[in-house]
Amino acid sequence: MHFPPFLAALVRIIPRLLFAPAAVYISFQVFEALVGERAPQWLRISAYLLVFPATFVTKLLYTQNRDRRHAGHHGAVIPPSIKYRWPGALDKLSALVWNFSNGYIAEYGESECEENGNTFNFYVLYENRIFTTEPEYIKAILATQFTSYEKGPVIYDQFYSLLGAGVFNSDADIWKFHRTMTRPFLTRDRISDFDIFEKHAEDAIHQMKIRMRQGYSVDFQDVISRFTLDSATEFLFGKDVCSLSAGIVYPPSSPLSKDPAFLNHPSNRFSCAFLESQIATANRTNYGSSWRFAEPWRDQVQKHMKICLEFVDPIIADTLAKKHEQRRLGLDAKEGMGQAKDGETLLEHLVNYTEDQKVLRDEAMNTMIAGRDTTAGTLTFAVYMLSQHPDVIARLREEIITKIGLSRRPTHDDIREMKYLRAFINEVLRLYPPVPFNGRSSTQAQIFPALKGGKPFYIPPHTMITYCVFLMHRRKDLWGPDADLFDPDRFLDERLHKYLTPNPFIFLPFNAGPRICLGQQFAYNEISYFLIRLLQSIDAVSLDMETQRLPPSDWAQAKGRKALEKVILRSHLTMYVQGGLWVRMKEVDPLDFV
């Protein structure tokens, strides 16, 4: 039985709540002992009623004055605070929550940046929460002042139901342990073996062709999520979960889309639950440390995680059973920490050091998000961009045909030599970074340096900081006046040397510093491999406008990239297309292979 989140929050704050009335009670007892008579009833009632707001306001004013004083000692200022009308900035919180569910990604943050600058204090529910799109500050957080920032207790608490103490939600020694265990499985030799990619890419593309020959469009986002799930589980766990074997979804208008056998397939139940668990987790970030009051009676992530674990636990059980059998046969000799035996999977390696079910679950869930969702999101937006830019398809196919032809499997060296393909992927990652928001907490007071004649910013200790690469990647002062436009050539022509080369921290699709994504090259290889195999088979992509869930009509009158969108962008931990990406593809003429 799980303790209701609201009650758990109350248990945490009860000692602080009781302190003030206890102090009032003791004060009256001392007063009455000294004076020899009881205080008037009206005074006692007034004191007990006013003690809470008085204590709150006093603490608030003291904290604000202390922070301003400390900032002044360093010649700095607190980042400008958002302007609000309601107590606790509840009007701003309401706007943020609405934007999360209904608006364009980061649109609320962008509007506050326009009013307050690229770094501001999102002072909601009386908590300092810094928001920034400034590459110099993000560089400090991720690299130059790395030890002064951590995930911290608030992020850990918000994400624990989903990620546990896994690599994406841990600090210090636990984080180092997970990194050490994972690193040997992402070496060049391992990620250059494309047999797994080939098997699942062939299956996925074959199923799409059959469905389109039947006259249907396909939800590419669904297909590619199955491809990345099957590839990731086989690569990391040694067991293909066969989500592609369930088939791919039919358009909602088709009676076949309601097939119970398909809907109840374990991989489909997992995918739905995994999506909902991430949405519920991301929603918590809107409320800071007070998230429990937004889901008072039931953990909104836990109910979905039960379904996810029904999918994950058998993988762990099989690995443990294999380990126990090896131990029985005397074949379980350990390698050194962080050293993997040939043919050993990540999970098999991990059970050499722990059989704790919670640790193994956390590792499985964290690596599955990394191996499935981020790559699937990038491939989804890549195909979305192909549907909008037929000229890009032509250039990509020209490069593929020149380097590889229409039938041969690409090698690691082939992919490395395909400059336009890499530029295309980078441009997708620029406009649609897999993780649009990320966060850290300051472990101690920090100073962000002054920029362009402004004053330095003082960051109080234990302050939450959200950095938004989604907005940073679209800033015209960082990327040029055409930053809103999709143009892979910006990674090949003079713009590369004008903007990115002198300031590499303006492009962070895989994070940076000690916590940079270990699977960066794995992701590039997987994305490149699938796109090559796909474009060897098709030469045109278009959105199925009758099936596709389209943005509201008023988006067309918006400014910037929003006006150009033909799909609804959403984000939980990673970016995705709401309602799927429904496309039609034109197969290459078989005579082209002759």
Cβ(382)–Cβ(425) below 8 Å: yes
pLDDT at 308: 92
pLDDT at 591: 63
Angle at 348 between CA 342 and CA 354, to 5 degrees: 130
Separation of alpha carbons 141 and 129, rounded Å? 14
Structure tokens at 255: 């009676």
Angle at 340 between CA 352 and CA 309, to 5 degrees: 55
Across the chain, what does the average pLDDT equal?
92
Cβ(363)–Cβ(346) below 8 Å: yes
pLDDT at 352: 84
Cβ(134)–Cβ(118) below 8 Å: yes
CATH topology of domain 173-433+518-593: Cytochrome p450 (1.10.630)
Domain ranges of the chain: 15-161, 173-433+518-593, 474-507
517 is in an annotated binding site: yes
pLDDT tens-place string over residues 489-529: 999 999 999 999 999 999 999 999 999 999 999 999 999 99
pLDDT at 204: 98
Closest CA to 381 of 570, 235, 125, 215: 570
Average confidence (pLDDT) over 539-560: 96
Most confident of the following: 30-39, 243-252, 266-275, 493-502 = 493-502
Separation of alpha carbons 67 and 442, rounded Å? 14
Buried residues in 467-501 as b, exposed as e (16+ CB within 10 A)? bbbbbbbbbeebbeeebeebbbebbeeebeeebbe
Separation of alpha carbons 534 and 142, rounded Å? 36
The structure tokens 């997992």 sit at: 270
Closest CA to 482 of 467, 469, 499, 507: 499
Percent of the chain exceeding pLDDT 70 equals: 97
Angle at 145 between CA 142 and CA 147, to 5 degrees: 90
| Threshold 0.85, pTM exceeds | yes
DSSP state of 140: I
* Res. 48: pLDDT tops 90: no
Between 465 and 38, the higher pLDDT residue: 465
Cβ(330)–Cβ(321) below 8 Å: no
**Which of 79-93, 140-154, 310-324, 497-511 has the weakest average pLDDT?**
310-324
DSSP state of 3: P
> Contacts by 323-331 with C-beta closer than 8 Å and gap 24+?
323/348, 323/351, 323/352, 323/355
DSSP symbols for 485-504: S--GGGGTSHHIIIIITT-G
| Confidence tier at 328 by pLDDT (50, 70, 90) | confident
Contact partners, residue 6, CB within 8 Å, separation at least 6: 292, 293, 295, 296, 297
Separation of alpha carbons 432 and 449, rounded Å? 29
pLDDT tens-place string over residues 177-209: 889 888 888 887 888 889 999 999 999 999 999
| Confidence tier at 267 by pLDDT (50, 70, 90) | confident
pLDDT at 593: 54
Strands (E), 123-171: 129-132, 149-150
Strands 575-577, 464-468: parallel, antiparallel or unpaired by DSSP? unpaired
| Confidence tier at 334 by pLDDT (50, 70, 90) | low
Between 443 and 371, the higher pLDDT residue: 443
Separation of alpha carbons 508 and 34, rounded Å? 66
Average confidence (pLDDT) over 395-400: 98
Q: How far is CA 372 from CA 20, 379, 432, 500, 569, in A?
A: 50, 11, 16, 28, 18
Q: What is the Cβ-side half-sphere exposure of residue 1, based on CA atoms within 13 angstroms?
A: 3
Separation of alpha carbons 519 and 232, rounded Å? 11
Q: How far is CA 357 from CA 112, 238, 329, in A?
A: 44, 18, 23
